[in-house]
């Protein structure tokens, strides 16, 4: 059994059909079927039950697939690490960010263009749950996320805490500060994570702790959409202040919540057991120093 056979087997499982797997691997179907047969003969077990064109993993196949994914990932990390010994900081760096943390990205990309011009970037956007999934699937190396997040398998670099502010159309108020009780009199719109506990629950808990029942007219996972709705005078929003650094706010009024400290925690995360490319390591380092 070698790496090529494991890659063939994993691709068959992922595609669900030998025909599709052969197409993805840019090879004919008979040689791929033969490689699967040789692998089963070597191990002395049946890995896949064929049901017409489709396949179904046996128990032995499930074990091998799980191990194969780990081994292939480790093999790819090893190849990357060895190449980087000679190549230095270069190549494609895939990172993710929630929109409310995107303000950290532009200055760092500018820094990289000046200091590491051979590095290119692929950016992914999503909520914290989705970005964590991207990292686990190795679609990206690291991400900027909002906490809380299940992170037992991640390394984490905390970022500065971010205070929430009240955002409303300029025509609705001229106040520079407001109490939480007063915000409850407005139609409110809040960020809501697609899955898991997030900023929505954090804000709602602050209202509940003061015995307040806010009027929530919209929940949305996208900060840009919320700000557009504020501009359209659909309602007001409560968002982390740093969110506003990535969007124009000339037509909005930003008001401090004077009697309640609502803060959000965020972090840079990456897989504990994964080799980080030099470019990813340098990117994380920019959060430890002033750039």
pLDDT of residue 149: 87
pLDDT of residue 181: 96
pLDDT of residue 68: 83
Residue-wise pLDDT tens for the chain (291 aa)? 888 888 888 888 888 888 888 888 889 988 888 888 888 888 888 888 877 777 888 888 888 888 888 787 777 767 766 665 555 678 899 999 999 999 999 999 999 999 999 899 999 999 899 999 999 988 999 999 999 888 789 999 999 999 999 999 999 988 899 999 999 999 999 998 776 678 899 999 999 999 999 999 999 989 999 999 999 999 999 999 999 988 889 999 999 999 999 999 999 999 998 888 889 999 999 998 877
88-159+266-285: which CATH architecture?
Answer: 3-Layer(aba) Sandwich (3.40)
CATH of domain 162-264: 3.40.190.10
pLDDT of residue 80: 65
pLDDT of residue 109: 96
pLDDT of residue 260: 92
pLDDT of residue 85: 53
CATH topology classification for 3-84: Arc Repressor Mutant, subunit A (1.10.10)
pLDDT of residue 282: 93
The whole-model pTM stands at: 0.69
Q: What is the DSSP string of the chain?
A: --HHHHHHHHHHHHHSBHHHHHHHTTS-HHHHHHHHHHHHHHHTS--EEEETTEEEE-HHHHHHHHHHHHHHHHHHHHHHHHHHHHH-S-EEEEEEE-GGGGGGHHHHHHHHHHH-TTEEEEEEE--HHHHHHHHHTTS-SEEEEESP---TTEEEEE---EEEEEEEEGGG---SEE-HHHHTTSEEEEE--SSSS-HHHHHHHHHHHTT---EEEEEES-HHHHHHHHHTTS-EEEEEGGGGGGS--TTEEEEEESS---EE-EEEEEETTSPPPHHHHHHHHTTTS--
pLDDT of residue 84: 57
Location of each CATH 3.40.190.10 domain in the chain: 88-159+266-285, 162-264
pLDDT of residue 17: 85
């Amino acid at each position: 059994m070698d790496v090529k056979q494991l890659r063939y087997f994993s691709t068959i499982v992922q595609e669900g059909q030998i025909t599709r797997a052969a197409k993805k691997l840019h090879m004919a179907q008979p040689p791929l079927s033969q490689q699967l047969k040789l692998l089963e003969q070597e191990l002395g077990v049946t890995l896949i039950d064929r049901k017409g064109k489709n396949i179904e993993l046996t128990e032995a196949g499930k074990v091998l697939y799980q191990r194969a994914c780990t081994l292939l990932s480790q093999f790819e990390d090893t190849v990357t690490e060895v190449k980087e010994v000679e190549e230095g900081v270069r190549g494609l760096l895939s990172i993710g960010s929630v929109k409310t943390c995107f303000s950290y990205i532009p200055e760092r990309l500018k820094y990289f263009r000046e200091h590491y011009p051979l590095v290119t970037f692929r950016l992914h956007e999503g909520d914290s749950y989705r970005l964590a999934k991207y990292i686990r699937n190795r679609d990206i190396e690291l991400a900027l996320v909002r906490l809380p997040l299940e992170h037992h398998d991640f390394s984490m670099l905390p970022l500065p805490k971010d205070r929430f502010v009240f955002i409303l159309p300029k025509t609705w108020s001229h106040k520079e500060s407001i109490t939480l009780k007063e915000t409850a009199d407005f139609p409110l719109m809040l960020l809501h994570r697609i899955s898991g506990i997030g900023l929505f629950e954090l804000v709602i808990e602050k209202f509940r702790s003061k015995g307040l029942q806010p009027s929530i007219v919209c929940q949305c996972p996208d900060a840009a959409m919320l700000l557009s709705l504020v501009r359209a005078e659909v309602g007001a929003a409560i968002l982390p202040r740093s969110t506003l650094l990535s969007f124009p706010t000339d037509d909005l009024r930003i008001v401090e919540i004077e009697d309640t400290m609502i803060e959000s925690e965020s972090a840079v995360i990456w897989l504990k057991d994964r080799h980080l490319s030099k470019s990813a390591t340098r990117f994380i380092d920019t959060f430890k120093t002033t750039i």
